[in-house]
Amino acid sequence: MDAELRKQRRLAATKARRNVFTETVHPKSYFELMTDEEREAFFARERKRSTTALKQRKIRKTILTAIGLVIACSISLLALVPIFFTFLNSFMSSDEIISNYSVIFQSMSGHNSSGATYLSRTPVLKLIPEEVTIKQYTTLLFMNPAYLFKFWNSIILTLPIVGGQMAVACLASYSFARYRKKRREVLFFSYIILMLMPFQVTLVPNYMIADTLGILNTYWAIILPGVFSTFAIFLLTKYMRQIPSGYIEAATIDGATEWQIFTKIAIPLCKNAIFALTILLFIDYWNMVEQPLVLLTDTELQPLSVFLAQINEPEIGIAFAASAVYMIPPLLIFLWGEEYLVEGISRSGIK
Amino acid sequence: MKNRRKTIIRIMVAFVAGLALLTFFSNTIMNLTIPKVMGEYATRGNLAYTNTATGTIKVENETKITGVEGRTIDKILVSSYDTVNEGDVIATLKPVENSDDLKELQAQLLTLQREKEYAERAPSSNTLTTYEQAVDTAQDTLSEAQEALTAAQNKQATIDSADATILDQSSQLAEYQSALDYATAEKAGYEDQIKAIDDSIKPLADQITIYQSYGYQITIEEDTGYYRFTDPDTGLTESDPVGTTPVTDGEKIRELCYQINQYIDAKAPIQSDLDAAQAVIDSNSASIAACELAITNAETAKEAAEALPSVSDAQKLVDTAQTGLSTAQQSLSDAQVNAGIEADKAQDAADDRDKSIEELETKIAELEAKIEQTEIKAPASGYVYNISIEEGSVMEKNQTIAYVIPVDDRQCTATFTFPSEVASRLSIGDDMDVTMGYVDSCTIINIKPDPDNPREYKQVKCAINDAYAFPGESITVRADKSNKDYECVIPSSAVNKDNSGYFVYQIIGSSSPLGDKYTVKRVDVTVEDDDGTYAAISGEKLDKDAMIVVRSEKPLEDGERVRLEDFDSDKKKT
């Protein structure tokens, strides 16, 4: 039945293409050929089929949504667990932390019991303290001035680097974006190469230069290389190049000087990117470990990030509180510039 | 959005400000919370220095010069280390200007002596008589009350008995009265018969009397009343028969006597019947009297019984009397006790008075002797030293104003205090090395526990072998040259003690990125030796390379974090 109908339709279509108009007899439809009983049965069957199909589709969608949700939640949980873990464990007593996690250090080489203990015992990862206490915080903040001094070391290192690097980056990026000559492109390319290089490659030259300049084991050994880092210049240049040239030409026609164009047009237009870079740089340099570890041999000058990276058995009792306090400044900075960061990243193509 | 950023900025500022404040006060807080301790490493060595001791030379055979209480020194005639002979004047005394003390003591003595005399003359008072009389009276009252009670209890029985007695006696009285009446009647009859006989005898007796006047010897027997006559002519007696008609006087007399004797013989039975009747009369009269008396008594007893109180009243009287007796006896007992106490007091007062009198007499004698004393003399020969008086100073009771030590044969000693363990290695007769002092040597003569700390220390007494030793010189001796070599010697202040024994705090240092951190760890130790300054310790858990807390700002606890005093500066210097 279907084949006959298709054949008739094909024939009618062919004739129509050849402009042959024939009065075709309107064929009876599938439903017209049916008897009432068959039609009722057909509709009933179709209703059942469509209902089943809808149900299956709904179930499938639900399952897929659930799976996706589980995966998303798992990933989120994996990302959030360390943070929760840190904050919740910071309210444990030192004794409880030591009893739970000291086995980690005992398994390290050089420890008395070495790895044998680790084989027999595993660290107990607990989220809920046996006894909620703020002893860790009081011990950390009231009885460990060294921690506070290291905190100020971090601030002393991070703020000049971020401020200096942003100042240099704004000026350099404007230059690279505004005046695109061949030599400048070469220079910019070299910046890109520098940015692409691993940090460890430039660490030795940095050390030698600092040693030559006599600033080794001083804050300047960290601040100066940080101020002239290329990452911010590269990103800001890319961002500034998106500024329409008509804006600058209009300003030029209106008599604006180069400085006025830079301060009144370029910088405000790049505000989002600047804030985003500021946040990223702050987080980056707040967490730096290698530079101070190599360039600052005096432990009293080292920032907090080095201490956290070196938390060992004697400090395990306050490790979580120290980490929690350590997280607060980046968190506040992020919350402060969250919108700038999202917008700046989305428009500059940072991924 | 702007508000959120403002809030976040405020939080940031507050966070940074808070950390800045904490940083600013960090050292202050740490100084307040973490105690500062001073640590020291244990050393290997001995406690040889613990065997040295210092003592002062003392002269055993010195003689004390005792002052005179209350007297003022006028002049001191010698100075320290002057040689004096026995009897030499050491100092002169100012005369006593005020003898009020003596007068006062004499007045007191006189008063006491008078009191004693008055007490001896005072009559002894017996205060117990009144109480004893009261007890006797109460006893009598009780007895009476008890009798009254008994009588009251037997009241009805007494009345019944009295009634029965009256009834019985009344019946007997009637019987006796009838018998009496009968006997009286009989008696009257017998008397009439006797009177008739006597009347018959009388004329005969008159005739006999006449014959007697004629000189006839007629005798009347006294006991029987019989008339006896012997006719001088015939020799016949009255009992011989006479003829029908007497003729002669003799016969007449014999007849008269015979007749009279016949009447007497007739009278005798009547007289006996009369006597018997009289006896019955007497007996019945007596019985009647007895019955009347018994009746009277019974009536009296009945009246008395009827007049008696009831049993309850009598019992109350007995109780009252018993109470009165108890009270009187208690009063007597109390009075006896009080009297005993008073007597003891009086005896004690008398003893005290006697003792006071004796003491006062002694004091007065001493005071009089002191008043008379004008100078202080040396009690022995030798050096005078340690003069503790000045001219014009007033001496106290038993004050030693100076000593006299022999010139040649001085017996000098010195006493040293050693720990018991050190002293245990010493023995009497050992010579000790004098490490400091101008003395040749000394020999141990006595070892005894130190009275202040008999368990820990002992006193070693040594005789000084030096003729030139003087009292008061300080010498140091060493008891034992050899000593045990201890592995851990630390200052004694580092050793602590509690209920579980001795322990020390070891300083456990740890280095971290936050700097050096020090905690103390309690380690139980055994104190092998201790001289008060240093102690030798040992212990299984004692780390000999660890620093030990010798001094702390405040009490420490196991595991407590501490700061080392000047440790950082020392480390920087090195």
pLDDT in tens, A18-61: 877 666 667 777 777 888 888 889 889 999 999 999 999 999 99
pLDDT at position B567, please?
Answer: 47
Using a CB–CB cutoff of 8 Å, tell me whether A315 touches chain B: yes
Cβ-based contacts of B34 with chain A (< 8 Å): 143
Using a CB–CB cutoff of 8 Å, tell me whether A149 touches chain B: yes
β-sheet bridge partners, residue B536: B489, B529
For chain A, what percent of residues have pLDDT higher than 90?
A: 28
Domain A139-348, CATH: 1.10.3720.10
- CB atoms < 10 A from the CB of A225, how many? 21
How far, in Å, are A204, A315, B548, B555 from residue B32 at the CA level?
Answer: 45, 22, 22, 14
Cβ-based contacts of A155 with chain B (< 8 Å): 16
* Segment among A7-11, A310-314, B399-403 with least mean pLDDT: A310-314
Cβ-based contacts of B19 with chain A (< 8 Å): 148, 151-152
- Determine the residue of chain A that is closest to B515 in CA distance: A146
Beta carbons of A145 and B513 less than 8 Å apart? no
pLDDT in tens, A122-132: 667 777 888 88
* Segment among A297-301, A338-342, B158-162, B312-316 with least mean pLDDT: A338-342
* Segment among A96-110, A192-206, B61-75 with least mean pLDDT: A96-110
Using a CB–CB cutoff of 8 Å, tell me whether A312 touches chain B: yes
- Determine the residue of chain B that is closest to A329 in CA distance: B12
Do residues B412 and B466 lie in contact, with contact meaning Cβ atoms separated by under 8 Å?
A: yes
Q: B287 or A313: which carries more pLDDT confidence?
A: B287
Report CA dihedral (B218, B223, B224, B227) to the nearest 10 degrees: 0
Which helix (H) or strand (E) segment holds residue B44: the answer is strand B43-46
Which helix (H) or strand (E) segment holds residue B526: the answer is strand B526-530
What distance in Å separates residue A317's CA from the closest CA in chain B? Answer: 13
pTM for this entry: 0.48
Please name the amino acid found at residue A125: L
Q: Which residues contact A260 (CB under 8 A, 6 or more apart)?
A: A251
β-sheet bridge partners, residue B43: B489
How do the domains of chain A map onto residue ranges?
A: 2-78, 90-133, 139-348
Do residues A232 and A281 lie in contact, with contact meaning Cβ atoms separated by under 8 Å?
A: yes
Beta carbons of B515 and A152 less than 8 Å apart? no
What confidence category does residue A173 fall into, taking pLDDT thresholds of 50, 70 and 90?
A: very high
Ranges of chain B with pLDDT below 50 = 567-574
pLDDT at position A114, please?
Answer: 46
Beta carbons of B26 and A145 less than 8 Å apart? yes
CA–CA distance, B563 with B518 (Å, rounded to integer):
7
Beta carbons of B22 and A142 less than 8 Å apart? yes
Using a CB–CB cutoff of 8 Å, tell me whether A147 touches chain B: yes
Using a CB–CB cutoff of 8 Å, tell me whether A246 touches chain B: no
Q: Is pLDDT at A106 greater than 70 in this prediction?
A: no
pLDDT at position B501, please?
Answer: 87
pLDDT at position A115, please?
Answer: 46
Mutate to test the interface with A, among B1, B15, B27, B514 (most CBs of A within 10 A): B514
Beta carbons of B513 and A302 less than 8 Å apart? yes
pLDDT at position B573, please?
Answer: 38
Do residues B526 and B537 lie in contact, with contact meaning Cβ atoms separated by under 8 Å?
A: yes
pLDDT at position B262, please?
Answer: 87
Q: Is pLDDT at A185 greater than 50 in this prediction?
A: yes
What distance in Å separates residue A103's CA from the closest CA in chain B? Answer: 18
Cβ-based contacts of A152 with chain B (< 8 Å): 19, 23
What distance in Å separates residue A51's CA from the closest CA in chain B? Answer: 49
Report CA dihedral (A333, A339, A341, A346) to the nearest 10 degrees: 170
Using a CB–CB cutoff of 8 Å, tell me whether A110 touches chain B: no
Do residues B466 and B440 lie in contact, with contact meaning Cβ atoms separated by under 8 Å?
A: yes
Please name the amino acid found at residue B214: Y
Beta carbons of B23 and A149 less than 8 Å apart? yes
Beta carbons of B5 and A336 less than 8 Å apart? yes
Beta carbons of A150 and B29 less than 8 Å apart? no
Using a CB–CB cutoff of 8 Å, tell me whether A253 touches chain B: no
The DSSP string of B52-79 is EEEEEEEETT-EEEE--TTPBEEEE---
pLDDT at position B73, please?
Answer: 86
User: Which DSSP letter does residue B230 get?
Assistant: B
Using a CB–CB cutoff of 8 Å, tell me whether A330 touches chain B: no
User: Longest Cα pair distance anywhere in chain B, in angstroms?
Assistant: 211
pLDDT at position A165, please?
Answer: 94
Q: How far is CA B327 from the centre of its chain?
A: 27
Beta carbons of A152 and B561 less than 8 Å apart? no
